[in-house]
Chain A
Amino acid sequence: MASSETAFAEAHRARGLAPFLRSQMRNIAPFLTLIFLSAFFAFASPSFATLDNLGNILTQVSVTGIIAVGLTFVILCAEIDLSIASIANVTGIAVAYFTLQESYVNIANIPLPGAVAIILSILLCALLGLVNALGLTVIGIPSFIMTLAMMQIAAGISALLVRGQIAYKVPSLITTLGSGSIGGIPWIVIVAAIMLLGGHLVLTYTRFGRYVYMVGGNREAAEYSGLNVKLILGAVMVISAVCSGIGGMLGVAHFGSAQQNEFDTYLLDSIAAVVVGGTSLFGGRGGIGNTIVGLFVLGVLNNGLDHVNIDSFLKILIRGLILLAALIINVYAQRLREKAAE
């Protein structure tokens, strides 16, 4: 039995490297992009390929990375979450709102002990995620629309809390994790790494992780297999919101202030990181490993464009083009894989 299995596996492998590579296109293409971009910037600018700059890049992608952990779960289920940046913003503002501010900050806030402030803020983002989850699963609103509404709702709560003002103080734990460092390594990088690792472990080694992949791979089949698909979809929406909230709190500490519209660019960046990394928008394929590569592609691109002399307005266009290229690869990788499976 076992021997016939190996024999078959070998015969199968003997079909050649090309089909294997085609089926792995999703993972290979982003990695090649990363190597190509790094090589290009290293060649174009002497200040790019330095240890210091690597630290910069890591710090720059940390907030995106924390948000992207949860978003990876959502996209693996073939859903989308457009409220991540708004939820990050409102959670960051909430944690400042519950912290005693300097006297010149003109916000009618409610100062609470740091731990309580953090817990309340996490509850807030979890609650918003739960609303997303209920809208998606119980009412049946497509996630694209549901989270679009949530994007506005969260932005509205943010606006009501700060009323156009800026808050600066957050609990000391958040300040440390967001802007402190240990042994030269910024805490925010460590937090991002731990969360990415945690996400990877959950997706790869737990039953829930398997369910996420299976629901994304074929939702109908998951239901016919007796999985509670709605529960799993609801769970990923909550996970996404909580990751966004943590990213928002640390982001506020990292930037040194909490204000309206502070995280707007993180919506596109997070989606781009997940998709550029090769996680399938059709669900079921990809993972945190892909997201990490995607984060680095974006990080290297953003950082590298600052090192070469380039029109800062052109940067936006270039990022858009890179995203388009990644989307094309994403769709083609799906098609090639389907072909390889035939």
Chain B
Amino acid sequence: MSAGRSPILELQGITKSFGGVEALRGVDFALLPGEIHGLVGENGAGKSTLMKIIAGVHTEFSGRFLIDGKETHFRSARDAHAAGIAMVHQELSVAPDLTVAENVFLGNQPTNALGLVQWRRMAREAGEQLARFGIDVDPMSRLGDLPIGLQQLIEIARVLFSGARIVILDEPTSALSPPEVERLFTTLRRLREDGTAIVFISHFIEDILLVSDTVTVFRNGRKVAETASAATSKGALIEAMIGRGGEALEHSYTDDLMLPQPSDSTVVLKADQLSLARSLKDVSFEARAGEVLGIYGFMGCGQQELSRILFGKLKPDGGTLVVDGTPKTFASTAAARRAGVALVPESRRDMLFHQEPVYKNISISILDRISSLLLKPTQERDIARRQVEQLQIRPPVVGLDLGMLSGGNQQKVALAKWLTYPPRLLVLCEPTRGMDVGAKNDVINIVRDLRARGLAIIVLSTEPETVLSLADRILVLKRGALVREFKNEPVSKDRLLEAA
């Protein structure tokens, strides 16, 4: 497959450490022109560190770095860019207030002799580029008005068409709907024909197997496997990633899963005809004690808005919420919290204090239960220690700044803050997004334990696996409306995707 082609990029014996901790140990990595190279590994395995070295973000490391067979050393991301290397980071980095065309041409707008921007030309060319990608939008519309998935596609398109010879995509599909993923893959394959080398990082191993030619597996800062995609399987890759039998840990959810008999326990929350501008239309449902209600839908289907309404962060235009039999209109998130509603949003950044120690992050939502006027730091730390132990948060140091924890452990802290005095209703948005298999399982177990303790839980996710692994009953939300309920019947990934 790769015979006769020489690598466009070659790394030999790369070692990189952060403050005495080795993030990469003697890694060799080669990238061929016209190759899609998949990269898998648990969080913290070293994938992103290696990519940041390639993209010139990390400039201090040991080992050899060759481009077209010539030894090179980037001093900045600018150098890497000049060498034809472009990267799409996991977090969206677009300018929402600029037009689509301006975003596509960000940093190199076409100008005339006077240095003035040629708007018409820019709009035309942006439209053409996006059309090649199968994106049909008005190039002069404001980017921030488009759905998130589309924004991400436009950002990817910008990088793909920037003329880079090496393109690195970090988790590009997590915010995309299946048809959008398909469009992305078609484009990637076309670029491969043109000789572009593509690195594709993803937690979705199916995606990796589908689109890449070669897969490299990282574990604990080492490369543990490199194989042709055609010659491996999801199970084998997971096993290489986590270094233990992977089959039991990650269901594929392709087979039917039987949902249990619906519970007839007390109704904790009753939502009736909720609606919100363009996001939600007459959404009605009930959440019961001791039951996990899954709400599945593609990105932009209104899940985010729904979760914010339940927690008093957004006011619905119409409809009512009844909590424990009492109609509620939440004036603030504090009111929702007092009524026994808790929310863990999809973005950890939004609900955690990175510069504060772990124990303050855990105690913030229950301070009024611990102390009336004066703080009781000893008690706060004790409570935090119990949570840290119970949820196996690592490192187990409650005085450490939250920012020092890994993503999966931060997510556990986000859960921990609601668990000392459990709420009546716990709303979880994307509880396992971006987590490695081990952390995912921990979170699943925590949620199951909470269900056993009688909480009503709502899990909203755009990943079918998340909903399938947790929910007792599943609602499908499509363009702001509930279109299907799965209960006491077989359900699978296919059936969910079909309904959405």
Q: List the interface of chain A (C-beta within 8 A of B).
A: 1, 4-5, 8-9, 12, 15, 19, 205-207, 209-211, 213-214, 217-218, 220-231, 284-285, 337-338, 341-342
The answer to whether B313 and A214 touch across the interface, beta carbons within 8 angstroms, is no
Asked if A224 and B345 make an inter-chain contact with CB atoms under 8 angstroms apart, the answer reads: yes
Q: Are A5 and B396 in contact (CB under 8 A)?
A: yes
- What CA separation (Å) do A20 and B19 show in the bound complex? 13
Are B397's CB and A9's CB within 8 A? yes
Which residues of B sit under 8 angstroms from A1, Cβ to Cβ? 385, 389, 396
Which chain A residues border B367 with CB–CB below 8 Å? 207, 210-211
Check A217 against B353 for contact (C-beta < 8 Å). yes
How far is A227 from B367 in the complex, measured between Cα atoms in Å? 10
Q: Assuming the A-B contacts A9-B399, A217-B355, are A225 and B332 also in contact, with contact meaning beta carbons closer than 8 angstroms in the complex?
A: no
The verdict on B123 contacting chain A, using a C-beta distance below 8 Å, is no
List B contacts of A19 (CB < 8 A).
19
B interface, size bucket = 35 or more
Q: In chain B between 316 and 364, which residues have their CB closer than 8 angstroms to a CB of chain A?
A: 332-334, 336-338, 342-343, 345, 349-356, 360, 364
Please report which residues of chain B, range 359-407, place their CB below 8 angstroms from some CB of chain A when the two chains form the complex.
360, 364-365, 367-368, 371-375, 385, 389, 395-401, 403-404
Q: Please measure, in the bound complex, the distance between the C-alpha atom of A211 and the C-alpha atom of B342, giving whole angstroms.
A: 18
Check A207 against B353 for contact (C-beta < 8 Å): no
Task: Give B285-319 as 1s and 0s: 1 = Cβ < 8 Å from A's Cβ atoms.
Answer: 00000000000000000000000000101000000
Chain B residues closer than 8 Å to A214, beta-carbon distance: 353, 356, 360, 364
* Complex: chain B residue closest to A15, CB-CB: B19
User: Smallest distance from the beta carbon of B295 to chain A beta carbons, Å?
Assistant: 19
A218 touches B364 (CB 8 A): no
Evaluate contact between B352 and A221: CB separation under 8 angstroms.
yes
B350 touches A220 (CB 8 A): yes
Q: What is the number of contacts between chain A and chain B, taking CB atoms within 8 Å?
A: 101
Check if A225 sits within 8 Å of B356, measured CB to CB: no
Q: Which residues of A contact B350 (CB under 8 A)?
A: 220-221, 224
**Are B397 and A230 closer than 8 Å at their CB atoms?**
no
Residue B417, interface by CB 8 Å: yes
Nearest-CB distance from A198 to chain B (Å)? Answer: 14
List of 3 A-B pairs having minimum Cβ-Cβ separation, nearest first: A226-B337, A228-B334, A224-B351
Answer yes or no: B107 CB below 8 A from chain A CBs. no
Report Cα–Cα, A285/B401, bound state, in Å. Answer: 14
A226–B333 touching, CB < 8 Å: yes
Q: Which residues of B contact A (CB under 8 A)?
A: 19-20, 311, 313, 332-334, 336-338, 342-343, 345, 349-356, 360, 364-365, 367-368, 371-375, 385, 389, 395-401, 403-404, 417
Q: Return chain A residues, CB-CB under 8 Å to B342.
A: 226
Minimal beta-carbon separation of B493 from chain A (angstroms): 30
Complex contact B355–A207 (CB within 8 A)? no
- In the bound complex, residues from chain A placing their C-beta under 8 Å from that of B336 are 226
Contact of A206 among B356, B360, B375, B397 (CB under 8 A): B375
Q: Are A205 and B396 in contact (CB under 8 A)?
A: no
Q: Which residues of the other chain, B, contact A213 by a CB distance below 8 angstroms?
A: 356
Complex Cα distance A223/B313, Å?
8
Knowing A221-B353, A224-B345, say if A207 contacts B375 (CB, 8 Å): yes
Of the A-B pairs whose beta carbons lie under 8 Å apart in the complex, a sample of 19, sorted by A's number, is A1-B389, A5-B396, A5-B398, A9-B399, A12-B400, A205-B374, A206-B373, A206-B374, A207-B371, A207-B374, A210-B364, A220-B351, A221-B352, A223-B313, A224-B333, A226-B342, A227-B334, A228-B334, A230-B332
Smallest beta-carbon distance B500→chain A, Å: 27
| Contact partners of B337 in chain A: CB under 8 A | 225-226
Contacts A8-B396, A207-B368, A341-B401 given; 11 further ones with Cβ under 8 A?
Answer: A1-B396, A4-B396, A214-B356, A221-B349, A224-B343, A226-B311, A226-B336, A227-B364, A230-B332, A284-B353, A338-B355
Shortest A272–chain B CB gap in Å is 24
Nearest CB in chain B to that of A285: its residue: B355
- B351 to chain A: closest residue by CB: A224
| Alpha-carbon separation in the docked complex, A15 to B18 (Å) | 11
Minimal beta-carbon separation of A318 from chain B (angstroms): 33
Is the beta-carbon distance between A225 and B368 smaller than 8 angstroms? no
Instruction: Name the distance in Å between B357's Cβ and chain A's nearest Cβ.
Output: 11
Write out the residue numbers on chain B whose beta carbons fall within 8 Å of the beta carbon of A4: 396
With A226-B333, A226-B365, A285-B355 as known contacts, state yes or no: A210 contacts B373, CB within 8 Å. no
Check B333–A227 contact: CB distance below 8 A.
yes
In the assembled complex, the CB of B386 is this many whole angstroms from the nearest CB of chain A, namely 10
- Chain A, interface SS category: helix
Q: Separation in Å of the A55 CB from the closest CB of chain B?
A: 34
Is A210 a contact of B360 with CB atoms below 8 Å? yes
Distance in Å: Cβ of B338 to nearest Cβ of chain A: 8
Q: Within 8 Å CB of A8, what residues of B?
A: 395-397, 400
Q: Are B355 and A284 in contact (CB under 8 A)?
A: yes
A224 touches B313 (CB 8 A): yes
Cα(A73)–Cα(B159), bound, Å = 45
Q: How far is the CA of A12 from the CA of B351 in the complex (A)?
A: 25
Shortest Cβ distance from residue A240 to the other chain B in the assembled complex, whole angstroms: 21
The interface centre, meaning the residue of B355, B401, B417 with most chain A CB atoms within 10 A of its CB, is B355
Bound-state Cα–Cα, A1 to B390, Å? 12
List of B residues within 8 angstroms of A209 by Cβ: 375
Which residue of A12, A207, A223 is within 8 Å of B372 (Cβ)?
A: A207
Residues from chain A with a CB closer than 8 A to the CB of B360 are: 210, 214
Contact B333 A223 (CB under 8 A): yes
Contacts A1-B385, A1-B396 hold; do A210 and B375 have CB atoms under 8 A apart?
yes
C-alpha gap A222/B401 in the complex (Å): 17
Cβ distance B431 to chain A, nearest Cβ, rounded Å: 14
Within 8 Å by CB of B403, from A211, A224, A341, lies A341
Within the complex, what minimum Cβ distance (angstroms) separates B404 from chain A? Answer: 7
Chain A nearest CB, measured from B398 CB (Å): 8
The 8 Å CB contact of B404, one of A206, A223, A227, A341, is: A341
Contact A218 B354 (CB under 8 A): yes
**Contact call B355/A226, Cβ cutoff below 8 A:** no
For the complex, give the distance between the alpha carbons of A209 and B374 in Å: 9
Q: Distance in Å from the Cβ of A287 to the closest Cβ of chain B?
A: 14
CA distance A19 to B20 in the complex (A): 13
On chain B, the residues within 8 Å of A211 by CB distance are: 367
Using CB atoms, name the residue of chain B closest to A284: B355
Most buried by A among B334, B350, B360: B334
Give the shortest distance, in Å, between B481 (CB) and chain A (any CB). Answer: 26
* Cross-interface CB contact of B352 among A218, A230, A231, A337, cutoff 8 Å: A218
- Across the interface, which residues of B come within 8 angstroms of A206, CB to CB? 373-375
Do A218 and B353 touch (CB < 8 A)? yes
Name B399's closest neighbour in chain A (CB-CB): A9
Minimal Cβ-Cβ distance residue in A for B352: A221
- How distant is A53 from chain B, measured CB to nearest CB, in Å? 39
The answer for the CA separation of A220 and B364 in the assembled complex, in Å, is 13
Contact A205:B332 (CB < 8 A) given known A214-B364, A220-B350: no
Beyond A207-B368, A207-B373, A226-B342, whether A217 also contacts B20 by CB under 8 A is no
How many Å from the CB of A231 to the closest CB on chain B? 8
Find the A residue at minimum CB distance from B385: A1
- Residue of A with least CB distance to B343: A224
Q: Which residues of chain B are near A15, meaning CB under 8 Å?
A: 19-20
State the CA gap A342–B406 with chains docked (Å).
11
- Give min CB distance, A118 to chain B, whole Å: 26
Report B-chain residues with C-beta under 8 Å of the C-beta of A222.
Answer: 364
